[in-house]
């Protein structure tokens, strides 16, 4: 049969690229210049094809590599992980589900058996046992499809006179991740990596891809309605949702409009850390779980609400866990704007036009009072007597007192569990990175804080930024992921960890089952930290903790761990955790918790 050169001519043939070369161009277009991964047999060819122009970083296991890539997506807007066939890709399922829930543009690349290898013999890593009649080569594709992740296997040429379209398939999949802010799963057969593929005429920059799509009609009518509502309002409020997270143009445009107009903003729980807490962005609102002063301001001092980029489908986490205390959810005089087209282009145009109008809302007495009370509550909520013992109840206040005096920003990374809910009392200050809080509050995947911190730390280091990384983690969550610290040590990634130790998994605990025992009394954290070449301290008083935390954040060295022995006695927990545990208990049929929770909902406590 004729070759490509004989079929289309030598000039055309000479311009063809290999699939590996085309993949590199596509990845660079989308600013994917580094990826996380684990080596393996079916992915070795792909690693070799990419490594000259894409930095490939190792991780301790495939799941952590994928979580690192999720952290990368949070910070840079795109994340990528590279693993081998099935045994490597299936452990990435949890990270894929996290990315889908949190709307993270994540590319999961997996090596796969070559097309020429597919026969009647089951290859290793294929999930077919010795007593089966069929060979299941699509186990990973089916698994990712099952959780709603766009999944494809690139295809080679079907005859020797035509180049493959694998490069175009790869481009379309990555474009989907970027435009839709969703994960994609791509298997790459190892025998097509160096085969010629159709050359793509790529745009100069990824932003040009937005021009391909049509805006929905009716934006002018919506804009006029919002302007009219604002003109009629005396005390408007803007509520920001999580879908604005990776849309910097919209995020910035909205903030400067509110600042110029004097309109206060609040975020829902899933949007925490997108804006710094200041005189415009007042904090996080979530019904009964809101700071009392902010709850009073929202529920008694607002006459119009502009809700922007909240979830398409209502979510219980940001609706006060369906406790019927979310005032904003049922507030009548509001306009809800959700970005229902790619990159929320229509919504951006609405805010851009509205911001051209002249509005001037002076801070009312409630706002002035709130700004003062927020500072007092979050910074000095407890008596910070230097001789007092550090505890979960006063930890956030002490951290706020330390970070207030630092000349640079601090980015908090709370681990799922008590640490996450405790972190809602931390003050989010401005950072060079543009984010002050990174977690996965909706999907709530345990074991992500250190991989996230590693990706964040590498980003800070690569871009010469001065922000500090502060992990707040329980002992259960730490033990789940601490092996990733070796890569922080290897690459000299600076991070500080506050390790909260009570030897149990406490959040939602309803019994004394052994399953809640997440640690051993004999466990020697100090020896482990020494093995990682890190700093270790175990302060007991508030004075010692403040001094050590300030020194660690100022030193900015790799792997610094501060161990705090904390009580699990209910009365010594912060309010947020107390109410969350009562809520969990009530939902699980605990009579006492249900009684207390119902009284709290009625405001009788």
Low-confidence ranges of the chain (pLDDT < 50): 212
Structural element, H or E, at residue 563: strand 560-565
The boundaries of every CATH 3.40.50.970 domain in the chain are 4-210, 381-573
Check residue 380 and give its pLDDT. 54
With 0-12 / 13-18 / 19 or more C-beta atoms within 10 angstroms meaning exposed / middle / buried, residue 519 is: middle
Rounded CA-CA distance 281/240 in Å is 10
Return the SS3 of 329.
Answer: helix
Check residue 212 and give its pLDDT. 47
CATH architecture of the domain with residue range 4-210: 3-Layer(aba) Sandwich (3.40)
User: What is the dihedral angle through the alpha carbons of 243, 244, 246, 251, rounded to the nearest 10 degrees?
Assistant: 180
Check residue 64 and give its pLDDT. 96
Check residue 121 and give its pLDDT. 78
Domain covering 219-368, topology? Rossmann fold (3.40.50)
Rounded CA-CA distance 599/582 in Å is 11
pTM, rounded to two decimals: 0.91
Check residue 216 and give its pLDDT. 58
Structural element, H or E, at residue 56: strand 55-58
Check residue 36 and give its pLDDT. 97
The boundaries of every CATH 3.40.50.1220 domain in the chain are 219-368
Check residue 126 and give its pLDDT. 78
Check residue 518 and give its pLDDT. 79
Check residue 384 and give its pLDDT. 60
Tokens of 572: 């010594």
Count of alpha carbons within 13 angstroms of residue 507, beta-carbon side: 20
State the average pLDDT for the chain: 89
Tokens of 97: 């589900």
Q: What CATH number does the domain located at 381-573 have?
A: 3.40.50.970
């Amino acid at each position: 049969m004729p070759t490509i050169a004989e079929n289309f001519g030598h000039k055309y043939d000479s311009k063809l690229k290999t699939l590996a070369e085309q993949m590199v161009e596509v990845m660079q277009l989308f600013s994917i210049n580094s990826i996380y991964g684990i080596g393996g047999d079916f992915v070795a060819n792909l690693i070799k094809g990419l490594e000259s122009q894409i930095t490939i970083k190792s991780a301790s296991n495939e799941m952590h590599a994928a979580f690192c890539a999720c952290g990368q997506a949070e910070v840079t807007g795109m994340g990528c992980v590279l693993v081998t066939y099935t045994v490597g890709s299936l452990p990435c399922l949890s990270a894929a589900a996290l990315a889908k829930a949190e709307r993270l543009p994540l590319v999961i690349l997996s090596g796969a058996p070559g097309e020429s290898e597919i026969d009647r013999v089951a290859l290793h890593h294929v999930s077919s046992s010795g007593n089966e009649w069929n060979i299941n080569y699509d186990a990973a594709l089916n698994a990712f499809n099952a959780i709603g992740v766009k999944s494809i296997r690139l295809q080679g040429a079907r005859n020797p006179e035509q180049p493959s379209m694998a490069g175009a398939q790869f481009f379309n999949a990555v474009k989907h991740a970027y435009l839709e802010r969703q994960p994609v799963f791509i298997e790459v057969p190892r025998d097509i990596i160096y085969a010629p593929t159709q050359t793509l005429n790529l745009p100069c920059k990824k932003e040009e891809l937005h021009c391909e799509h049509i805006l929905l009609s009716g934006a002018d009518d919506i804009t006029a309605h919002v302007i009219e509502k604002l003109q009629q309002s005396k005390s408007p409020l803007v509520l920001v949702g999580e879908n604005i997270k990776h849309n910097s143009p919209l995020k910035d445009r909205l903030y400067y409009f509110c600042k110029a107009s004097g309109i206060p903003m609040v975020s829902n729980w899933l949007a925490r850390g997108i804006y710094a807490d200041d005189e415009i962005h007042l904090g996080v609102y979530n019904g009964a779980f809101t700071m009392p002063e902010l709850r009073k301001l929202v529920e008694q001092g607002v006459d119009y609400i502009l809700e922007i980029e909240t979830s398409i489908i209502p979510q219980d986490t940001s609706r006060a866990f369906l406790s019927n205390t979310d005032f904003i959810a049922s507030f009548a005089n509001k306009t809800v704007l959700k970005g229902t087209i790619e990159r929320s282009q229509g919504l951006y145009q609405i805010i851009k036009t509205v911001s051209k109008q002249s509005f001037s809302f002076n801070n009312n007495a409630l706002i002035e009072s709130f700004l003062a009370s927020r500072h007092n509550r979050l910074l000095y909520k407890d008596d910070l007597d230097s001789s007092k013992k550090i505890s979960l109840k006063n930890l956030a206040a002490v951290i706020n007192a330390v970070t207030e005096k630092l000349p640079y920003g601090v980015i908090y990374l709370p681990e799922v569990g008590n640490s996450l809910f405790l972190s809602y009392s931390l003050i989010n200050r401005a950072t060079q990175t543009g984010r002050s809080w990174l977690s996965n509050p909706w999907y709530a995947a345990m074991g992500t804080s250190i991989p996230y911190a590693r990706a964040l730390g590498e980003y800070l280091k690569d871009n010469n930024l001065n922000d500090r990384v502060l992990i707040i983690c329980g002992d259960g969550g730490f033990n789940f992921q601490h092996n990733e610290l070796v890569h922080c040590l290897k690459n000299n990634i600076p991070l500080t960890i506050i390790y909260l130790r009570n030897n149990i998994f406490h959040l939602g605990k309803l019994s004394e089952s052994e399953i809640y025992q997440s640690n051993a009394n004999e466990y020697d954290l100090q020896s482990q930290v020494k093995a990682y070449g890190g700093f270790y301290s175990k302060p007991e008083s508030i004075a010692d903790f403040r001094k050590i935390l300030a020194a660690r954040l100022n030193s900015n060295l790799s792997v610094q761990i501060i161990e705090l022995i904390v009580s699990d006695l209910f009365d010594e927990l912060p309010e947020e955790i107390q109410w969350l545990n009562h809520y969990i208990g009530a939902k699980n049929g605990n009579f006492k918790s249900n009684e207390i929770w119902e009284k709290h909902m009625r405001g009788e406590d």
